[in-house]
Amino acid sequence: AGVGASTFLGENDILNPHHRAHGMGYHVGRGTDIGRYLAEHTGKVDGCCGGRSSFHWSFPEQKVYGASGFIGWHFCPVVGWGWASKQKGEQMVLMASGDGSYGQGAAHEAMLFAMNWKLPIVFFCENNGMAIHSTAADMHPMPDISSLAQGYGMPAVVVDGQDVFAVAETVIAARKHALAGKGPTFVEAKTLRLREHDVGTPDLARAEPREAKYLEALKQRDPVVLATRRVLDEKVLTQKQIDQIYQEAKEEVARVEQFADDSPVAQPSIEELQAGVYA
User: What per-residue confidence (pLDDT) applies to 260?
Assistant: 95
How many residues in total does the chain contain? 279
Is it the case that residue 208 has pLDDT exceeding 60? no
Neighbours of 259 (CB within 10 A): 17
Does residue 227 lie in a domain region?
Answer: yes
Does residue 205 lie in a domain region?
Answer: no
Q: Which residue has the higher pLDDT, 274 or 239?
A: 239
Please compute the mean of the pLDDT values over residues 188-206 and round it to a whole number.
Answer: 69
Contact present, 161 and 1 (Cβ < 8 Å): yes
CA distances from 259 to 36, 46, 255 (A): 8, 9, 6
Does residue 48 lie in a domain region?
Answer: yes
pLDDT in tens, 111-169: 999 999 999 999 999 988 877 777 777 778 888 999 999 999 999 999 999 999 999 99
pLDDT in tens, 64-83: 887 677 777 788 899 999 99
Does residue 204 lie in a domain region?
Answer: no
Is it the case that residue 21 has pLDDT exceeding 70? no
pTM: 0.89
State the average pLDDT for the chain.
87
Q: What is the CATH number of the domain that holds 134?
A: 3.40.50.970
User: What per-residue confidence (pLDDT) applies to 67?
Assistant: 67
> Which letter does DSSP use for residue 104 in this model?
S
How many independent structural domains does the chain possess?
A: 1
Does residue 209 lie in a domain region?
Answer: no
Does residue 206 lie in a domain region?
Answer: no
Query: Measured between alpha carbons, how far is 190 from 67 in angstroms, rounded to an integer?
Result: 23
Give residue 22's domain range: 2-194+215-275
Query: Measured between alpha carbons, how far is 142 from 156 in angstroms, rounded to an integer?
Result: 14
CA distances from 145 to 2, 130, 190 (A): 18, 12, 10
Helix or strand run (H / E) with residue 134: strand 134-135
Does residue 200 lie in a domain region?
Answer: no
Burial class (CB in 10 A: 0-12, 13-18, 19+), 32: buried
pLDDT in tens, 36-60: 989 988 999 999 888 888 667 788 8
Does residue 241 lie in a domain region?
Answer: yes
Q: Which amino acid is at 56?
A: H
